[in-house]
Amino acid sequence: MNAGYLNIAVLTQYKSHSLDRHISLAWRMSSLLGNYVTPVPAQQRRGKQWYMGSADAIYQSMNLINDEKPDHIVVFGADHVYRMDASQMVQAHIDSRAAVTVAGIRCRGTAPPIWGRQDRRGRQADHRIPGEACRPPGLVDSPEEAFASMGNYVFDTAALVEALTRDADLAGSRHDMGGDIIPAMVERGQACVYDFRDNNVAGATERDRDYWRDVGTVESYHDAHLDLVSAIPQFNLYNTDWPIYTYDTQSPGAKFVHGANVRDSIVCSGSIVSGASTESSVLGRNTFVSDGATLQRSVLMDNVRIGNGAIVRNAIIDKNVVVPPNTVIGVDHEEDRRRGLFVSDGGIVVIGKGQVI
């Protein structure tokens, strides 16, 4: 939106009602100017199956492309946290004359999916695909680094339509953008990499200008919240030159009473911390942390209640959960599992929406 792209379709499928409702309430664009952000549920337009992958989701939504007739299509994943001026990437794509441009973030080591090496013109040189587990070959200006795909793509429309149509008929394809479409286009020499480091966003600081996090796992989702809470955060929500917009309810301001101790935390509107200790945590709207409770490195969604004397550490608690008085969560993982709580490999305890403890 900040980059000036005002025609956005959000392809949804699984348990999407809350997202659909959020979009309909928050993103009311100018219909007079033809602007919109619209959720597009799976509609089985190309057969009787639901979306079989991210590429199939676009293939089954081909009517959107046919109706709008754009020259270029920007395809961004929805489970990442970052700031990017997409218009700069689109211009780099146009200048490259490639069929697809993939945003790449610089990384060291072999853990991330390696995209590949650039030559001196910034074009793809060795056609490695994401997910290849081998030592990165290095970049021309930094031999110890390689590109990992960010899951952000800019396509020439004709090239995208052709690639999706070919993939739809391939037996054994996962119909995935990053796993099938992009590697196939790399093999045909149609792909170019856009260096995320070259993207200049208004108001960015040196600390957060290259920030990007995939929040597709419990650990990364938890870590992304903790990146927000320090005095000088890794990801700065206070950049008014490139704000992150969202819908907010009308609620009273957050309140701290009875000697509450709140450190390095974000507390949203309508929430009350009463005589409790809260450290390095994010509290959603209308949460209540009771007297004597201790909350550390945790993420609370809306309408969560933490009882008197409870201890909660390294947890993600979904909406409408009540933690009874003197309950201990995140200290003894075996006890957490015995209660039926999910504990990730990294030791993050997850309590589902409305779950009874």
pLDDT at 30: 86
pLDDT at 351: 97
pLDDT at 122: 37
Please state, in angstroms and rounded to a whole number, the distance separating the CA atoms of residues 208 and 211: 5
156: tokens are: 């020439």
pLDDT at 335: 96
- Residues 98/191, Cβ–Cβ less than 8 Å: yes
14: tokens are: 């699984």
Candidates 348, 337, 342; CA nearest to 315 is 348
Residue 273 CB coordination number (10 Å): 27
Band (138; pLDDT cuts 50, 70, 90): low
Element (H, E) at 159: helix 157-168
321: tokens are: 């959960």
Question: 188 or 141: which carries more pLDDT confidence?
Answer: 188
Please state, in angstroms and rounded to a whole number, the distance separating the CA atoms of residues 174 and 195: 27
| 82-127 tens-digit pLDDT | 999 999 999 999 999 999 999 998 887 654 444 444 433 333 343 3
Which CA distances in Å does 126 have to 118, 129, 181? 8, 9, 17
Sign of CA dihedral 5, 161, 163, 52: positive
Candidates 86, 74, 78, 174; CA nearest to 131 is 174
162: tokens are: 């052709």
The domain 42-200 is placed in CATH, from the list 1.10.357.10, 3.10.129.10, 3.20.20.330, 3.90.550.10, at 3.90.550.10
Which CA distances in Å does 289 have to 56, 269, 301, 327? 44, 14, 12, 13
Which CA distances in Å does 23 have to 11, 146, 166? 12, 36, 32
Distance between start and end Cα atoms, the chain: 41
Please report, rounded to a whole number, the percentage of residues in the chain having pLDDT higher than 70: 91
DSSP secondary structure letter of residue 156: E
For 58-173, where are the E strands, in sequence order? 72-76, 80-82, 100-107, 114-116, 146-156
| Residue found under tokens 């597709």 | 216
- Residues 105/113, Cβ–Cβ less than 8 Å: no
pLDDT at 109: 62
Question: 312 or 43: which carries more pLDDT confidence?
Answer: 312
Please state, in angstroms and rounded to a whole number, the distance separating the CA atoms of residues 6 and 22: 17
Please report, rounded to a whole number, the percentage of residues in the chain having pLDDT higher than 90: 69
Mean pLDDT of 228-240: 91
Over its C-alpha atoms, the chain yields an Rg (Å, rounded) of 23
17: tokens are: 């009602």
322: tokens are: 């009540």
Domain positions in the chain are 42-200, 217-357
| Residue found under tokens 């993050």 | 348
Asked whether the domain spanning 217-357 has the same topology as the one spanning 42-200, the reply is: no
Sheet holding 288-289, edge to edge: 255-257, 272-274, 288-289, 305-306, 322-323
Mean pLDDT of 185-189: 88
Whether 194 shows a pLDDT value over 80: the answer reads yes
Q: Which CATH class is domain 217-357?
A: mainly beta
- Residues 245/263, Cβ–Cβ less than 8 Å: no
